[in-house]
Amino acid sequence: MFVVGGESLIDLVPVSAEADAERVAHAGGSPFNCAIALSKLGNDTGFLCPISQDEFGDVLLAPLAEAGVTVLLKDRVAAATTKAIVSFNAKMQASYVFERGADRAFTREVLLAALPEKVSLYQIGGFCPILEEDARVWRDVVDAAATRGATISIDINVRDKLIDDEAGYRARLGQFLDKAHLVKLSDEDHAWLEPGMSIEEHAAELLARPHCALVVVTMGEQGSRAFSRSGEAAAPIHRPPVFGDTVGAGDSLMAGILTWLDEAGALRPDRLAGLAPGQLEAMLRFGAVVAGINCGRVGCQPPSRAEVDAVLSA
């Protein structure tokens, strides 16, 4: 099973650019989105995050069930659902202000008890390093997944508006990065983490960490890049016929990359490092199609595997 651990939340999204005060609720959160995208691409996927008893918890459970994601924490919690107030710039790129709640309503014992015995892939959520008391628990979950044979991935997803202690956050993030075999980040994450450093230098720094064997960098309209210990590659975005917005684009791309790697027999630490440029390009192109189809819709609505295959075969 693929397991994605981390936040789920409700995105409160403006109805239009002209009516920012009028908002509609969409289920979201980067790990939540990625889990749904993975399952819709045909992967046996579990989601590890508390779900609230409130009405927004029902909103979160519906798309998980529709996509066939296994909700690993069966008992719902009293804390209110975490919320993100979404705004868009002129290019319809999203930014967020957060109100946290149920995504933090866990204990070490509950998370470890819910982790399956067989985990082939464990993905670390972007909120996990933000607070020390949470990070301590999530680090133990990652270690438990690794001992069960899981390849470890992380989508960094810096949320600077939630970070009160930058030095502490950087240290905690570094601890998670030291556990990861695959690291994904955006060009915005890169600019925040390593201002003045080139993407190539940053990728090399990540690959020098104890376990990292593959780095993927997304660059908005400029496409994506990948770096292994055996080469690098780039791929353009896939442009949908009609553009919706970019919500969940990176999460969808990540799901596509993980799916491609698994089907290629490369989602193992010893094989990630050996990915050659041609393989990296094919991986990025598959991920770009998954992300591009999602961007043809409003909100995060990852495609089915049939939709992806139809584009690839056209």
* Cβ-contact 260, 272 below 8 angstroms: no
pLDDT in tens, the chain (314 residues): 999 999 999 988 787 656 556 888 889 999 999 999 999 999 999 999 999 999 999 999 999 999 999 999 999 999 999 998 877 777 766 677 889 999 999 999 999 999 999 999 999 999 999 999 999 999 999 999 999 999 999 999 999 989 999 999 999 999 999 999 999 999 999 999 999 999 999 999 999 999 999 999 999 999 999 999 999 999 999 999 999 888 889 999 999 999 999 999 999 999 999 999 999 999 999 999 999 999 999 888 999 999 999 999 98
Instruction: Provide the edge-to-edge strand list for the sheet that holds 83-88.
Output: 19-28, 9-16, 83-88, 94-99
Domain 2-313 belongs to what topology?
Answer: UDP-N-acetylmuramoyl-L-alanine:D-glutamate ligase (3.40.1190)
Q: How many Å apart are CA 236 and CA 148, to the nearest integer?
A: 36
pLDDT of residue 43: 98
Angle between helices 277-295 and 249-263 (to 10 degrees): 140
Q: How many Å apart are CA 3 and CA 255, to the nearest integer?
A: 12
pLDDT of residue 96: 76
pLDDT of residue 31: 97
* Cβ-contact 4, 103 below 8 angstroms: no
* Cβ-contact 35, 55 below 8 angstroms: no
End-to-end CA distance of the chain: 31
Parse the chain into domains and list their residue ranges: 2-313
pLDDT of residue 17: 59
pLDDT of residue 11: 85
Cα 311 from chain centroid?
Answer: 23
